[in-house]
Amino acid sequence: MEVMGPNPRGEPIINGTEDTVYDTTLKFNYSKTKKEAEQRTLQANGEMLQNGGRLSTCALRPMYIYGDGCRFLLYHMGNGIRNKNVLFRTSVPEAHVNPVYVGNVAFAHLQAARILKDPQKRNIIGGKFYFISDDTPPMSYSDFNHVLMSPLGFGIQDKLLLPLCIFYILCFLLEALCTILRPFVRIVPPMNRQLLTLLNTTFTFSYQKAKKDLGYVPRYSWEEARKHTTEWLASQLPMERAKIMSS
């Protein structure tokens, strides 16, 4: 998704498609290298192979991927444990995004692979990109964490610790300090302007083109995805608590 943005101005997209016109100004290396990798992949579509065949490629752009094994969810749960079972709020409630369950992302990859291997159909998707979302309801990242973890006894902060504009200035100062210190020590700040903008920008996308061209329909409903993820988090909770108690 970050090959699309959001751009540094935090301009929103609601239910965007592959044809959505957007000022994709990417300032940070994480997004830039993703964009470059996607462009190289798509440009390679149709290249001649050594065996005389031709390479077929497409690109999938999943939303934020959640589910069993998601280290980001464990990170937020760990911080919540340290904060007396209250999750930190890092995004405003109105900044809606639409995360996608890992099982549905896997299914989308299988569908794309099947079509790329089919000589009759590969030209339909070759050289194109597709957004991959599912029926997870749009909400902010912070509220999404809370929905998954509230059955485990976690609450959430009502609002950001600081106004968003002050938060942004602090991120800028922290990035500047890390840049000054880089010749001597490399420090990766826990929050930067790109991440803060990402967490607080409405950015949702439709999977209808993937449905039409790839035959992609989510295999897991929101109810199933939420149940599987919360059960996995519950299985990790004792270990996370023990790890924090011993540290």
Number of neighbouring beta carbons within 10 Å of residue 32: 13
Number of neighbouring beta carbons within 10 Å of residue 134: 24
For residue 237, give the nearest of 160, 176, 154 by alpha carbon. Answer: 154
Cα 95 to chain centroid, rounded: 14
CA angle 110, 116, 118 (to 5 degrees): 105
Asked whether the beta carbons of 219 and 104 are under 8 A apart, the reply is: yes
Task: Say whether 64 is catalytic.
Answer: no
User: Cα torsion at 106, 110, 111, 117 (round to 10°)?
Assistant: 160
* Catalytic position from the list 30, 66, 130, 168: 30
Asked whether the beta carbons of 234 and 226 are under 8 A apart, the reply is: no
CA distance 76 to 58: 33
For residue 81, give the nearest of 149, 158, 159, 147 by alpha carbon. Answer: 149
- Amino acid found at 226: R
Which sequence positions are flagged as catalytic?
30
